[in-house]
Chains A and B, each alone.
Chain A
Amino acid sequence: MDRALRSRLERRFGERLLSPVVQRHDETEIRVAAADVVDTVRALHDEPDLHFILLADLAGVDTGTHMQVVYHLWSERTADWLRVVADGLDREAPRCPSVTFLWKGAEWMEREAYDMFGIVFEGNRDVRRIYLPAAYTSFPLRKDFHLADDASRSPGMGVRPMEETLPPRDATPATNIRRAQAG
């Protein structure tokens, strides 16, 4: 845990942080609104005392109530991984600004997040499905996408024991969504 980084982040982004800086093991986490993502990552990348030059990962998350985009960054100025959570994306129409202006390599990771969660990245010039066929209609990593429901439409339904242990296909998806307590 890098205490100095914590105070540096609090000083720099004070009013922009949605919740206090969280530190556990070798990770530091900050939360910002989706609208603040561009300014935040630009500051993290450009400012010499932060200098987070490497984007380690970009992931979408569905907490069951809203969507998030999670960035993991690395800098030689600190021993911690920095996690930036763009929080509170509307679950029905999730939109988030793209970071491809800074890390062009995020393009495919954003495409993946779109493919799996339906998150639209504004500014990414190639937001289309990457794994699934273009005609596919749902977003499989969302919490209202049940494996059991999916399997019930396939010939293998009920054969694979893993899927039998999941909610039955007549269960209403809306009441069955797993919501993160910790999101």
Chain B
Amino acid sequence: MTTQTHGPHPSLDDPSISVEDVVRESIVDAVPVARTEREAEFYTLRDGELLLNMGPQHPSTHGVLRIVLKLDGERVVDIDPVLGYLHRGVEKLCENADWHQAICYTDPLEYVASLFCEWAPVVAFEKLADVTVPRRAEYIRVLTGELNRISSHALYMGWFALDLGGLTPILWSFIERDEIVEMLAAITGQKLLFNYFRIGGVNGDISHEFMSRLGDWMSRAGAQIEANQGLLNENEILVRRARGMGVLDRETALRMAVTGPNIRASGVPFDIRRAHPYSVYPELEFDVPTRQEGDSLARYLLRGDEIKQSLRIIDQVLHEMPDGPVMATLPRLIRPRPGRAWAAVEGPRGMYGTYAISDGTDQPFRMRIHDPSFVHLQLVSLLTPGNLIADTMAIMASLDPVMGGVDK
């Protein structure tokens, strides 16, 4: 038995081998030689069980992900996610780039909320180089970050409905996302991978166009988001499919190292903005919403609560933003003294972290990127067994993984 499953089968040219033989052999080939305990357990099939590949090109997998489902009829018995289709070796690339360049490599990891993927390494590098960031820059970071969080959550709500079979909400949620993306494009010049944060500040002050778009949007954002949610929150189909689905209890959430909205939907008020404050969050007033149910519906509704808190933060930031520079004075090439730093920020999916080691040169010696989607995807094989195939998507979508971050 080999694990090779690509390309035409070698025996296809041989007329003495029948098609049935080839099919039978291919099925055997698709089951890899078990190398670990878990793999042996997964690929041992009982009577009546069958393996089904979902993906890598499945519309509901939020990127390129293959999950091997072990099925008993319509019920899922077990799940083995196969990652790596989007693996780009970003950590290695960062170790071969200079400190400033590394930020643009981390940017495309999380293409839905890319500002947070810049934020974590930037804070870690600032700690290494002992840089103090001007206060105005910190306020701008919070402002753009919260906008990005809203756009990500808004899109999530549409996605979630899409995976449950509703087409309209995704079109509605793109209205919100589009507005915010246009706003951010007015200061960053980009609509997807902003690459706006710099070590020591941000790239350029906020512009008049940004402010006028933001003011325009803020005046109706609350009502607009309320309307979008009204489309879904009381929708009979969505509620009945999501309630009680994929319940994650408090203890398991901690054991699985879950962070972000997913752990808050299980009743743990862990939000890094409060649990380990960074930037100017200690000065801002906002609540950390939690829910106790821990099911798909709670995870969905919690995102709605968070959008409201983000709007509250944006409102305060606009009132309190000081004047001043937006960048610290730094040399073009920085060489932080040898040392190590870890920084984590609260993103829309959970904790984005960066562990950076400096050896005194202009390149990171080691740069570790922690992405919440990677951790949360593990939950799929924990929460799904026992449910129907169609509910796999209802559970996975509620965890909100983005494959760019999972695969790095």
Residues of A within 8 A of B (CB): 24-27, 29, 53-57, 59, 61-62, 70, 72, 74, 76, 79, 81, 83, 102-109, 112, 116, 125-135, 140-141, 145, 147, 162, 166, 178-183
Closest to A55 in B: B257
**A63 to nearest B CB, angstroms?**
8
Q: Assuming A132-B87, A178-B359, A182-B359, is B378 touching A108 (CB within 8 A)?
A: yes
Please tell me if the beta carbons of B89 and A140 are within 8 angstroms of each other in the complex.
yes
**B180 to nearest A CB, angstroms?**
29
Stretch from B29-37, B143-151, B309-317 contacting the other chain: B29-37
Residues of chain B within 8 A of A135, CB atoms compared: 3-4
Please tell me if the beta carbons of B35 and A134 are within 8 angstroms of each other in the complex.
yes
A129 and B377 CA atoms in complex are apart in Å by: 16
Please tell me if the beta carbons of B257 and A180 are within 8 angstroms of each other in the complex.
no
A112 and B351 CA atoms in complex are apart in Å by: 18
A108 and B92 CA atoms in complex are apart in Å by: 19
- 7 nearest interchain CB pairs? A105-B257, A182-B338, A126-B38, A105-B256, A131-B84, A59-B368, A131-B87
- Judge whether B97 is part of the interface by a CB distance below 8 angstroms: yes
Closest to A104 in B: B255
A104 and B383 CA atoms in complex are apart in Å by: 14
Please tell me if the beta carbons of B255 and A105 are within 8 angstroms of each other in the complex.
yes
Residues of B within 8 A of A (CB): 3-4, 32, 35-39, 83-84, 87, 89, 91-92, 95-97, 127, 254-259, 270, 275-276, 338-342, 344, 351, 353, 355, 357-360, 365-366, 368, 370, 374-375, 377-378, 407-408
Can you report 20 A-B residue pairs in the complex whose CB atoms are below 8 A from each other?
A: A29-B340, A54-B259, A72-B344, A81-B276, A81-B344, A102-B255, A105-B256, A105-B378, A108-B378, A109-B257, A130-B84, A131-B87, A131-B407, A132-B84, A134-B32, A166-B96, A178-B359, A180-B357, A181-B360, A182-B339
The listed residue with most B CB atoms (<10 A of its CB), out of A55, A74, A105, is A105
